[in-house]
């Protein structure tokens, strides 16, 4: 006869820890490890960006004075601004889903010959939720395809921009750009005009800002880069080079709607001279070694506005310790939560406090200063900055 076991029975395994581990892994996968505060800041950023998108459409549809004092008209126009972002078929799907959600549930009563009453409940709200889920899946599919295309465009754009400046006798250069969206309309470049090691070699320095953002601006930026690189190979003066680029830009500007502000300069290492043309761009800051500040303003209209526009040039001589700061308006017009701009005075303050460091270090300090000022406010424009220090 078998003897009873003296070992105590093992307690049943509690599903609690295993379930908690699965929930924890699921939550980390959903949030990508972000804290709740980070998720909230991300939601606020997305909500503000969406509000600006729809509010711009709202202001374009109705004069400001009329909709601010009529709530129902404002609500109607705001709903239309949302609906018009969808295709007609998806608009109908959304409207049907909303109607089903508000309609609630319904009951259908049926009597048979024996007098039995059958009540059938129609879950309209459930079907409305299913339609919203279908609409969400369709929109996510579009977003994934668009994101993939934008990432390809971003990679192509990165190939067009230099990763590091070429060695230039007498100069140290650093540059950086930060797109407001996946792709940008800002452009910067530094390259030799001719053989880099030739005795008479000169170098082109360029920073440009195409009107607008995202894909349209990025496409025009690519044409700007192509025209600059092509025309720079011809034996022409800087004024002729800019005039040729302006003629080409006017053929692609939609009658001046898609213009480009640009600062183009040609540096001669032999004598330290810098010939430049400012085509409607933010005036670069030239800080001399003694602390005095000059602005490089000589030039003409932005490229792409007037085909017969004139672009006179000017020349400055760079001496040891001089700084040249070339930037786009996205830097100085960066906004914080109080709708205040970063501004050129703050940029000058960082420049004056760090005049003894190298361009890479100063560029890092400028970007940190701008980020600290802006805080969690979404970036509304592309930011590009190029720093040149005379050695």
* Average pLDDT of the chain, as a whole number: 82
Say if residue 64's pLDDT is above 60.
no
Distance of CA 143 to the CA centre of its chain: 17
Average pLDDT, integer, range 222-248: 90
Contact 249/262 with Cβ under 8 angstroms?
no
227 belongs to a structural domain = yes
Q: Are residues 206 and 273 in the same domain?
A: yes
Q: Are residues 98 and 213 in the same domain?
A: no
Say if residue 144's pLDDT is above 70.
yes
pLDDT of residue 77: 73
Q: Are residues 45 and 126 in the same domain?
A: no
Say if residue 7's pLDDT is above 70.
no
Could you list the residue range(s) of the whole structural domain that residue 53 is in?
29-85
Q: At 118, is the pLDDT very low, low, confident or very high (cuts 50, 70, 90)?
A: low
6 belongs to a structural domain = no
Whether the pTM exceeds 0.75: the reply is no
The more confident residue out of 122 and 220 is 220
Please say which residue of 85, 107, 125 terminates a domain: 85
Q: What 3 state SS string does 94-139 have?
A: HHHHHHHHHHCCEEEEEECCCCCEEEEEECHHHHHHHHHHHHHHHH
pLDDT of residue 159: 79
| CA–CA gap between residue 105 and residue 123 (Å, rounded) | 5
pLDDT of residue 59: 65
pLDDT of residue 285: 95
Q: Are residues 189 and 123 in the same domain?
A: no
Q: Where are the alpha helices (DSSP H) in the chain?
A: 15-31, 36-61, 64-67, 71-83, 88-103, 124-160, 214-231, 238-250, 329-332, 343-353, 359-374
Percent of the chain predicted with pLDDT > 70: 83
| CA–CA gap between residue 267 and residue 269 (Å, rounded) | 6
Q: What is the pLDDT of residues 265-279, one digit of tens each?
A: 999 999 999 999 999
Q: Are residues 56 and 190 in the same domain?
A: no
Give the range with max mean pLDDT: 64-78, 189-203, 327-341.
327-341
Percent of the chain predicted with pLDDT > 90: 36
pLDDT of residue 114: 63
């Amino acid at each position: 006869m078998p003897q009873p076991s003296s070992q105590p029975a093992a307690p049943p395994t509690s599903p609690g820890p295993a379930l908690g581990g699965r929930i924890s892994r699921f939550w980390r996968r959903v949030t990508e490890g972000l804290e709740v505060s980070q998720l909230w800041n991300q939601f606020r950023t997305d909500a503000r960006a969406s509000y600006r998108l729809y509010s711009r459409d709202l202001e374009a549809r109705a004069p400001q004075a009329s909709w601010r004092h009529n709530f129902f008209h404002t609500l109607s126009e705001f709903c239309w601004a949302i609906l018009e972002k969808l295709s007609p078929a998806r608009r109908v799907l959304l409207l049907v889903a909303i109607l089903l959600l508000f309609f609630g549930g319904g009951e259908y009563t049926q009597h048979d010959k024996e007098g039995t009453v059958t009540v059938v409940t129609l879950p309209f709200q459930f079907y409305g939720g299913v339609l919203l889920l279908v609409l969400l899946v369709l929109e996510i599919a579009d977003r994934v395809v668009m994101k993939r295309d934008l990432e390809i465009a971003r990679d192509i754009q990165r190939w067009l921009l230099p990763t590091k400046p070429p060695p230039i006798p007498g100069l140290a250069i650093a540059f950086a750009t930060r797109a407001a969206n996946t792709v940008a309309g800002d452009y910067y470049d530094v390259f030799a005009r001719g053989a880099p090691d030739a005795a008479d070699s000169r170098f082109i320095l360029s920073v440009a800002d195409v009107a607008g953002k995202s894909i349209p601006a990025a496409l025009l930026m690519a044409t700007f880069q192509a025209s600059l690189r092509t025309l720079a190979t011809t034996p022409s003066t800087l004024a002729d080079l800019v005039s040729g680029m302006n003629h080409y830009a006017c053929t692609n500007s939609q009658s001046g709607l898609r213009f480009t502000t640009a600062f183009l300069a040609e540096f001669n290492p032999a004598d330290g001279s810098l010939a430049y043309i400012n085509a409607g761009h933010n005036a670069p800051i030239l800080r001399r070694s003694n602390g005095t500040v000059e602005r490089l303003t000589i030039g003409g209209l932005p490229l792409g506005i007037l085909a017969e526009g004139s672009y006179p040039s000017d020349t400055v001589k760079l001496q040891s310790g001089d700084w040249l700061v070339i930037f786009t308006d996205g830097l100085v017009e960066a906004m914080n939560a109080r709708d205040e701009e970063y501004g050129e005075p703050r940029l000058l303050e960082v420049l004056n406090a760090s005049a003894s460091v190298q361009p890479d270090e100063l560029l890092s300090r400028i970007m940190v200063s701008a980020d600290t000022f802006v805080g969690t406010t979404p970036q509304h424009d592309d930011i590009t900055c190029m720093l040149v220090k005379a050695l």
